[in-house]
Amino acid sequence: MDTILETRNLTKVYRADGVATPALRGVNLAVAAGEFVSVMGPSGCGKSTLLYLAGLLATPTDGTVIVAGTDAGSLSDGGRTHLRRAHIGFVFQRFNLLPTLSAEDNVALALRLRGTAVADRPRDMLRAVGLEEKRRRRPNQLSVGEQQRVAIARALVTQPAVLLADEPTGNLDSTSSEQVMDLVSRLHAESGQAVVLISHNEQVAARADRLVRMRDGQLID
């Protein structure tokens, strides 16, 4: 199977007031198209940093990220934005919906930013996550579980090749967590998109095709 996302010797060192703090130490990870990978590890081990670098939201100190065959290290900021738009969808732990927009407009925004025709796609996507009836509600009128489902709809409406999810159940109770993971699994199975999911939760992580563990900025298995 083709590799859709690959990190090579990915290294990130944060510097503040002359102090260097390594967050990632030469991470090599390849994700095949359609593969569901979970990344587990203790707090501060570099999981989120790996996700942000893989999602091209941050630039590595060393190493490179290859998305759909394109080496992001050779691209400008605009080029990385273009590559991210074309192939990557994000789901965050804190949902990160825009509070001034309705659920439908939050989903539509992802299309508008790409200059893509909106039409009924946001509504269809909200129907797929079971929130068509609540599409006109703002985030503060939705439960936390519903907000995360809207965030998943927003991430998937552009049909990205890779969905990067940063602890998507971290702020949810067990019932909502179960529902969200059922949704992620179902959509993954239906659409064939690759998923890279970060989680503390063994049960959540166990839904993946492959489990990867991290410690001190390195992959350990």
| Two structure tokens written together for 184 | 């992620």
Q: Is 96 in the site for other proteins (CB under 8 A)?
A: yes
Q: Is 119 in the site for other proteins (CB under 8 A)?
A: no
Residue closer to other proteins (CB basis): 36 or 92? 92
Binder of other proteins out of 21, 44, 71, 114 (CB under 8 A) = 114
Rounded Cα distance, 178 and 183, in Å: 9
Binder of other proteins out of 32, 109, 144, 211 (CB under 8 A) = 109
- Number of chain positions touching other proteins (CB under 8 A): 28
Given a contact cutoff of 8 angstroms between Cβ atoms, the answer to whether 36 and 67 are in contact is no
Name the pairing type of β-strands 19-32 and 3-16.
Answer: antiparallel
**Strand (E) or helix (H) holding 40:** strand 36-40
Binder of other proteins out of 77, 120, 133, 221 (CB under 8 A) = 77
**Strand (E) or helix (H) holding 89:** strand 88-91
**Strand (E) or helix (H) holding 63:** strand 62-67
Cα dihedral sign, 193-100-104-127: positive
Closest contact distance (angstroms) between CB of 149 and other proteins is 16
Given a contact cutoff of 8 angstroms between Cβ atoms, the answer to whether 32 and 50 are in contact is no
**Strand (E) or helix (H) holding 7:** strand 3-16
Residue closer to other proteins (CB basis): 48 or 207? 48
Rounded Cα distance, 220 and 14, in Å: 21
Q: Is 171 in the site for other proteins (CB under 8 A)?
A: no
Given the rule CB under 8 A, which of 90-98, 123-131, 186-194, 198-206 is the region that contacts other proteins? 90-98
Given the rule CB under 8 A, which of 96-104, 126-134, 188-196, 211-219 is the region that contacts other proteins? 96-104
| Two structure tokens written together for 115 | 């200059």
Binder of other proteins out of 13, 57, 144, 211 (CB under 8 A) = 57
Closest contact distance (angstroms) between CB of 90 and other proteins is 5
Q: Which residues bind other proteins (CB under 8 A)?
A: 52, 55, 57-58, 77-78, 81-82, 84-85, 89-90, 92, 96-101, 105, 109-110, 112-114, 154-155, 158
